[in-house]
Amino acid sequence: MKYRNIWEISMNFIPIAAFFLALLIGAIMIAILGISPLVAYQALLKGAFGSMNAIADTVVKATPLLFVGLGICIAFRAGVLNIGGEGQLVTGALSATIVCLAFPNLPGWILIVIALTVGLLCGAIWAGIAGFLKAYFNVNEILSTIMLNYIAAYGMNYLLRGPIMDPLQIELGSFIPQTARLTQAVDLPRLIPTRLHFGTIVAVVFAILVYIFLWRTTIGFRIRMIGQNIQASRASGINVQKYMVLAFIFSGALVGLGGAIEVLGVHHRIFTDGSVSGFTGSAGFNGIVAALFGQLHPIGTIPASLLLGALLTGANKMQRVVQIPSALIGALNGLIVLFVVGSEYLRRSQTRRMERTAKVKNISKNKNKMESK
């Protein structure tokens, strides 16, 4: 890639600047709460990277963010906003759990493959509903995906309080809404003796696959094309509706897979606290932040999810050490989104200005040529 000037190079650091600006505002908020920001951020840093376990936890936390972020990359590149990460994570996780509960006697690795596939498919279907409604009924996809989040969450609550509740909970009379622990045969292999599991590798492989998919395949090209210019795509004979639905399906498939991997790799069961984000820990929303932070590029989303994973893991430590609620990170994530989308304009207007000067230069160049003839 060639850069024309320093300004253009610096544009690529906007997300980093947004990140630090958000941290700065966070520091001010912490100071207002009467706590030293330095101490707080030190605790955060230590919580995220302080030990082998902390680093592993950061990576584990980043994994679902990467899956959601990849899904978001595909959808946003197609020009549709899939805000249904939460719901797709839940459907993916729930269906994978149900499969594992239903066939406990299958050999472990077969069950893992089936469970992950089912999770992927259910996530795809859940997002596909929103895609179908958007493409053929022109239903605003942001609203439909949000509604599907709530529907999935309440569906999960119903199942966990009744049909698939842990029999032990019923026996003990404690009625905690969660399933039984899945058979250990379906635990994803650990990489090192920490909580780090094989799912992380799957996520990184998928990041590369998504990159190849979007930039090296026809479907990927068409998906990006409808995102760039829907009229031109239609004029060139692309079935816009079909590719819109496909973008949602691929997007939801990745998120659903992420949900299934959360179950098999981390929790080994599904549980709820009644709210929408009880199981997901808001990964469905934070994944959007990761994708935007990674400039909607699958490879860029990898470090972006790591960074956000570190923030979230560190925030738990910060909450324990200096009593700053981890909700702070939620607020900062919102700010990061606002800064990143807000700064897009600067980038666009700068590009336009440069194009204009380039045009003027060309014209005068041609003029000179003509005159010299």
Partner 1 sequence: MEAIIIGIARSAIRLATPYLYASIGETIGQLSGVLNLGVDGVMLMGAFSAFYTVLKTGNLILGLLVAIVVGGIFGLLIAFINVTLKAEQGISGIGVYIFGLGLSSLLFRTMIGTVQAVSGFSPLSIPLLSNIPIVGEIFFRQNILVYGAFALVPISWFILNKTPLGLSIRAVGQHPEAADSLGVNVVRIRYLTVILGGMLSGIAGASLSIALLNVFQQNLTNGMGFIAVALVYFGAWRPLSVLTGALLFSTVNAIQIWVQVKGINIPSDFTLMLPYIVTIVVLAAMAKRYVRPPKALNKPFERGE
- Contact positions toward partner 1, by CB under 8 A? 29, 33, 81, 83, 133, 137-140, 142-144, 146-151, 154-155, 157-158, 161-162, 275-276, 285, 288-289, 292, 324-325, 327-338, 341-346, 348
Q: Which is nearer to partner 1, 33 or 191 (CB)?
A: 33
Q: Which is nearer to partner 1, 114 or 337 (CB)?
A: 337
CB of 247 to partner 1, least distance (A): 15
Evaluate the CA torsion angle 20, 24, 26, 30 in order and state its sign. Answer: positive
**Residues recorded for the chain:** 373
Chain centre distance of CA 231: 28
Quote the CA–CA distance of 255 and 67 in Å, as a whole number: 5
Q: Which is nearer to partner 1, 36 or 140 (CB)?
A: 140
Q: How far is CA 94 from CA 49, 259, 272, in A?
A: 31, 8, 11
Q: Which is nearer to partner 1, 115 or 289 (CB)?
A: 289
Q: How far is CA 108 from CA 190, 320, 346, in A?
A: 15, 37, 53
CB of 332 to partner 1, least distance (A): 7
Look at residue 197 and give its three-state secondary structure: strand
Look at residue 13 and give its three-state secondary structure: coil
Q: Which is nearer to partner 1, 115 or 133 (CB)?
A: 133
Q: Which is nearer to partner 1, 143 or 209 (CB)?
A: 143
Region of 197 (left: φ > 0; alpha: ψ -120 to 50; beta: rest) is beta
Q: Which is nearer to partner 1, 131 or 199 (CB)?
A: 131
CB of 137 to partner 1, least distance (A): 4
CB of 110 to partner 1, least distance (A): 32
Quote the CA–CA distance of 202 and 40 in Å, as a whole number: 34
CB of 142 to partner 1, least distance (A): 6
Quote the CA–CA distance of 205 and 202 in Å, as a whole number: 5
Give the CA count within 13 Å in the CB-facing half-sphere of 326. 19
CB of 33 to partner 1, least distance (A): 6
CB of 282 to partner 1, least distance (A): 8
Integer-rounded Cα Rg, in Å, for the chain is 23
